[in-house]
Each structure stands twice: as structure tokens, then as C-alpha cells.
Amino acid sequence: MDRSTVPMSATNDFEEKLAAHGLELRAETVEILQVNVGKLCNQACKHCHVDASPKRTEIMTRETAEQVLAALHRFRIPTLDITGGAPELNPSFRYLVSQAHALGAHVCVRHNLTVIFEPGQDDLPEFFRECEVEVISSLPYFLEQQTDAQRGHGVFEKSVEALRRLNETGYGIDGSNLILNLVYNPVGAYLPPPQASIEADFKREMMARYGISFNHLYTITNMPIKRFLDYLRRSGNEERYIRKLIEAFNPQAVAGLMCRNLVSVDWLGRLYDCDFNQMIELGVDPELPQTIVDFDPAKFALRRIQTASHCFGCTAGAGSSCGGAVVKN
């Protein structure tokens, strides 16, 4: 069976669910260009929807990064959201960030924390500060056992040390404008808890145990594709998890889905409605331009979002997006 996505029925069951609630998933204006600069990563997390690892070789070239910057400049897109892999391992990463910052864009980086200990990366906190980067970092739990179970042995200890470095640089500190947000993913086949409640736990425990502060915690649901789908199948949890996502469908989450205000760009410059669609190679509406070179936000506004069964992951419970829960609680 194809390991990239959940089993598809003859019809699109997500579209059927939307229709049953009188809903249609269409974009609004493009406010975020989310760019995946490659699959190379210093970690190989068990839930990774990118299948990223130190062995991956797919990486965005300088030429494609230039095309991203040209689009950002030409269309005055407010936010560049950079992800990977570990995006810092792309040789064009610092160029992309500093140029986007110079253009006046708000730059977010999905930073895995431990990459700071890779050769040549120890000044990352200072570089982030210079470019006023919003740092968004995964930390599945405030305890070592759960974090290492998902992200690998020794990751928690390194992550805590990296967070200390970010705090020392002014990130996530009260009164500072340097934003440090954390991301919570369930360490297994279950839905995230209410965001406000687990954020309060993280703030209390991270300060009490490690003296670390941060701005916000985003809860993100594990998507049943790629490496997490492999885990679901290996552990016999696939059917139960998919059923859980479908049964937890929340029509109120649809309006706030991330695909409605972003366009996702892959390492080759191809366009998608989100990073998850990118990983299963489900491109944007075939009627639209397919690459960043031909991108035109006017054509992408109000576009019909391409969906498949994995989309139930973003509409379950309080919903899930790159900015955490969609329905605040």
C-alpha cells in the first residue's frame, strides 16, 4: 500500500464531510509564503511528515531561493515562513532570511533547537535576533522521556540548552519583541489537549524545572502521512486513529485552516496548498500556476483547496494549523 497517505476511498470523504456541513474549502488572500527549503535534517523524528533525516539530499538551490525572494518582493507578501528538514542546514538559509528581512517581510523559522549544535551553527540565536526572526520550535513535552521517545535519544537535553541560549539572546523574555513559540505534538496516536491548558503547564514547568520562558505554545495534531503513518501501521493504531480524526471533525475549525491564507513552496519551487499536501505531492489546483516563478497571488486568492483524507487531521477537535489550535479554548 502507498505509504504516503491514508487509504483513499473512491470518493473524497473529506469533501463529503464538508458538503454534509454545507461547507466548501476555499482560500482567502495569500498572507504567508511557507517555504520548505529541503528534507535534510540533523534529526529523524518518529512523527515527521517530511520523512526528514541526515540522509536526505533534497535541498533548495540558491536560484530557487532567489525566485522565492522575487515573489516576496514583487507581491509584498507580509510573511515568509521557512521550514524543512532543518532549514538552517540549507547553504542558502541565511541569505534567504536576511534578504527577506531586508525586504520588510516578517520571517518565521521552524527551528528544531538541536541544529544549533551542528558545525557552524552556534551563532544562530544572534543571527535570528539580527533578522528579528520569529522562532517556532518543536518540544513535544516538558519531560525528557516523552521528548526523546519522539525526537531521538538526547534531544531533550540539547533542546533545553538551546532554549537557554535563545532566552539569553532575548528570545521569549517578557518585554522583548523577540518571539519564541513552542510546538506540542502528541507523543503517539492521540489528539492534543486544549492549547490554553497545556500552554499553562509548559510555562509553569519549563520555568520551574529549567528556568526557561517562551511566548506561546502551539498544539499541532500528528498528520497520518509519511513517517507517522508508518508508526500507526506498525503499532496497529491506524484504523483507530483515522476513526478518531473523522469522529472529531469540527466544522468550526474549517474557517481558520492555515491553507486559507498561505501557499506552500517545495525545494524545487513547486506550489501546494500546505506542507502536508506538499509531502504527498498533491499540488495546487491544476488550473493555477504550478511554480513560484509563475506565482500570482491574485490567481490564488479564493482558489479551491486540494484535499484528501489526511485533511481530517487539521479539522479534528480544536483544529490544527501551523499556528496551533484553530478554535481557541
Partner 1 sequence: MAYYDEEDLGRFSEIAKYRPDLFEKFMAWYQACQEDGALSRREKALIGLAVAHALQCPYCIDAYAQACLESGSNMEQMTEAIHMASAIRGGAALIHGLQAHNSVHKVSM
Give me the residues that bind partner 1 (CB under 8 A), please: 141, 143, 146, 186, 188, 190-194, 197-198, 201, 243, 317
Shortest distance in whole angstroms from residue 235 CB to partner 1: 14
Residue (170 or 194) nearer to partner 1, CB: 194
Residue (31 or 205) nearer to partner 1, CB: 205
Shortest distance in whole angstroms from residue 248 CB to partner 1: 9
Q: Determine the 3-state secondary structure of 218 from DSSP.
A: strand
Shortest distance in whole angstroms from residue 162 CB to partner 1: 23
Shortest distance in whole angstroms from residue 273 CB to partner 1: 27
Shortest distance in whole angstroms from residue 192 CB to partner 1: 7
Q: Is 132 left (phi over 0), alpha (psi -120 to 50) or beta?
A: left
Shortest distance in whole angstroms from residue 221 CB to partner 1: 11
Residue (188 or 313) nearer to partner 1, CB: 188
Residue (130 or 190) nearer to partner 1, CB: 190
Nearest in space to 243 (alpha carbons), one of 46, 7, 45: 7
Residue (23 or 198) nearer to partner 1, CB: 198
Residue (194 or 297) nearer to partner 1, CB: 194
317 burial (CB, 10 Å; 0-12 / 13-18 / 19+) is: buried
Residue 104, all three cell numbers: 520588510
Shortest distance in whole angstroms from residue 191 CB to partner 1: 5
Residue 72, all three cell numbers: 516576496
Separation between Cα atoms, residue 74 and residue 295, nearest integer Å? 10
- Locate cell 497571488: which residue? 297
Residue (171 or 241) nearer to partner 1, CB: 241
Instruction: Tell me if 226 sits within 8 A of 4, measured CB to CB.
Output: yes
- Which contacts of 290-297 are long-range, i.e. CB under 8 A and separated by 24 or more positions? 292/64, 292/67, 292/68, 292/71, 292/265, 293/67, 293/269, 295/71, 295/75, 295/263, 295/271, 296/75, 297/29, 297/30, 297/75, 297/77, 297/263
The terminus-to-terminus CA distance of the chain in angstroms comes to 38
The bridge status of strand 271-272 relative to strand 262-265 is antiparallel
